Amino acid sequence: MATNESKRERFVRLAEARTNKILDMMKLLGNCASKSNYEYTEEDVKKIFAAIEREMKNARAKFSGSDIQKEDRFTLD
């Protein structure tokens, strides 16, 4: 499939879609905070947000040209 889309246009299209997807997922994660529906510990919460913050730092570093090591999939165990 040939396209006349510039690199900038492709970046904007993909960055907007991927950022919105992440924001939607963050909202869904926030739904897990309902103590009436879920049981979790403060340690669970710390692990979740440490993993998110680590991956945010990795993503930001890539924009600065840093090579980042791939992390394993997240688990609470």
pLDDT tens per residue, range 54-71: 999 999 999 998 877 777
Tell me what pLDDT residue 49 has.
97
pLDDT in tens, 6-19: 999 999 999 999 99
Torsion sign across C-alpha atoms 55, 60, 63, 66: negative
**Mean pLDDT, the chain, integer:** 93
What one-character DSSP code corresponds to residue 6? Answer: -
Contact 30, 24 (CB under 8 A): no
C-alpha count within 13 angstroms, C-beta hemisphere, residue 65: 0
Mean pLDDT of 35-49: 97
Taking CA atoms, 8 is separated from 19, 22, 36, 60, in Å, by 16, 21, 46, 18
